[in-house]
Structure formats: structure tokens, C-alpha cells
Amino acid sequence: MGLQRKTRKFAQTKRAISQRDNRLKDSDKDKSDKKDKSKSDDLIREAPQAPSSLFFQYNTALTPPYSVLVDTNFISHTIQHKLDVIPTMMDCLYAKCIPVITDCVLAELEKLGQKYRLALRVAKDPRFERIKCDHKGTYADDCIVDRIIKHRVYIAATNDRDLKRRIRKIPGAPIMSVARGKYVIERLPDAPEK
């Protein structure tokens, strides 16, 4: 009986590239060329103009009565927790609040159908201020973010994670949401922490 040949398995024998390999040196040259180009591009910068109402992260344009820009899921969460919109907002902010709703949010509620008919009825309350949209389409998240960037006098009321993430990138824009059977506010400097 002779010796059996052992075949090497691929996973056990991986080839390593030596430090002096030409392929590594070529990629280093490409990186250094890219760095030189990026240094020349960094000299010309355009920073977005911050509104005059912002003092660091503090927005001085936000004063009572607060305009609260309401989102679709904020209304539905309010109904799930059996909260009344305007009194609960006033309890949260200790000031007069005007809920503001855009045409896109109303269109989104209408598209959702029978399941959200109560939310649609709440949104059509005469105490809510209606705002006309001047853009194409009915995507409410883009509409809300665009309006907050342009005006900076709104508090965004939403429970949508993605929309909250987008609004947090905007300096001076507070966010209201429904949590634990009440409304909570984040990033409003004068608001009490609960």
C-alpha cells in the first residue's frame, strides 16, 4: 500500500501578495493622483446660506402661536392613542398651536381609503390651517421637508422614522411625535424635557 496523495483544499492555501508587487504600487500612484485633484477641488467651496433667524442651532423664528406641520402617520397614531390633537399639542408646548396640513398630506390620506377615514375627518377639521402645494406629485414627505427648509417657522409633527431622519439634518427644525400616550417634542430649546 502506497501513500495517498493529499489534495490541498483551496480555503487552506490562499495566496498572499508580497509588499513589493507591482500591482500594489500602481494603485498607490492612482490614489496620490486623486488626492492632488481633490485638493484643488476643495479650494472652491459653496456653503448653503443659513437663514438669519438661526443663531447657532437655536431658531428665533419659532414663537407662539406655533405652526405645527402635521403628517399622515402623526394623525393616525394620535387616533390610535385616543388623543385630541389641539389640546394635546397645547399641553406639550404650553402655548397656542395651529396645526397646519398640506394638500399632499390630505391627498395621501384620501388614497389610503376606508381604513383611514377617521384620520381624514380629523385632518379636515376647520381648526386646521390648509396650505396649497405648488409642486408636482403628492409625495407628502418631500413636501414637508421642502416647506420646512424654505420657511423654518414650522414644527414638524411625524412618527415616520425616515422623515424624522431627514428633518434632523435641517438645523433649527423641531420634531413632534406621539409616544407613550402623549406628544413629545425634540430639539425645541424652550420645551420642558419629559
Query: Is residue 31 in some structural domain?
Result: no
Cα dihedral 57, 62, 66, 70, rounded to 10, equals -40
- pLDDT tens readout for residues 105-158: 999 999 999 999 999 999 999 999 999 998 888 799 999 999 999 988 999 999
**178/28: higher pLDDT:** 178
Query: Is residue 27 in some structural domain?
Result: no
pLDDT at 57: 63
Query: Is residue 163 in some structural domain?
Result: yes
Query: Is residue 157 in some structural domain?
Result: yes
Q: What is the DSSP letter of 94?
A: S
pTM over 0.75: no
Does residue 87 have a cis bond before it (omega within 30 degrees)? Answer: no
- Write out the residue range of the structural domain in which residue 97 sits: 63-186
Percent of the chain whose predicted confidence (pLDDT) is above 70: 77
Number of structural domains (the chain) is 1
Is residue 192 over pLDDT 60? no
Q: What is the mean pLDDT of residues 155-163?
A: 96
Q: 172-177 contacts: CB < 8 A, separation 24 or more?
A: 172/51, 172/53, 172/54, 172/57, 172/58, 172/59, 172/61, 172/62, 173/59, 173/148, 174/59, 174/62, 176/68, 176/74, 176/89, 176/92, 177/74, 177/77
Residue 142: CA count within 13 A, CB half-sphere: 7
Residue 121 belongs to domain with CATH number: 3.40.50.1010
